[in-house]
Amino acid sequence: MKQPAEEPIPESVRRFIIEHINSVESLEVLLHLSSGTIREHTAEEVSRTLCTSLESAKARLYELYRSKLLARVETATSLKYRFDPAAPGASVVAELEKVYKTRRVSVISFIYSNPTDPLRAFSDAFRLRKDES
């Protein structure tokens, strides 16, 4: 018996992924920070919760911060991030979360079907170093 075709990913979600999400890990970090109460998270907390390396968690948090989806709070002892519900495009995150829960494979396939622009990746590498110094 043939299964019914899945509905396509909504256009607003597709655009959001293209503009802000370059890996499944970035998506997982964003959804983790946007779910539940809005609170601040350290890279260590994100790393532990999502079972990823600390360096990778730091990189994903910084990418999402640069995309203006996260706010950053620096204190003398820590660097924390929180989801910014007022960020441009943040209204799509709830819809993205719903689509990801029901059509995980479609969303993952879409993320990996978007080729990254090598020139953008190259320039981002230098921008990251400049911003961190």
Q: How far apart are CA 68 and CA 80, in angstroms?
A: 14
Interatomic CA distance for residues 119 and 114, integer angstroms = 15
CATH T-level fold of 11-132:
Arc Repressor Mutant, subunit A (1.10.10)
| Torsion sign over Cα 44, 61, 82, 130 | positive
Task: Give the start-to-end residue ranges of the domains of the chain.
Answer: 11-132
pTM: 0.79
**pLDDT above 60 for 103:** yes
DSSP string, the chain: -PPPPPPPPPHHHHHHHHHH--SHHHHHHHHHHHSSS---EEHHHHHHHHT--HHHHHHHHHHHHHTTSEEEEE-SS-EEEEE-TTSTTGGGHHHHHHHHHH-HHHHHHHHHHS---HHHHHHHHHHHHHHH-
* pLDDT tens by residue, 17-29: 999 999 999 999 9
Average pLDDT over the chain reads 84
* Mean of pLDDT values over 42-62: 95
Residues above pLDDT 70, as percent of the chain: 81
Q: What is the pLDDT of residue 6?
A: 64
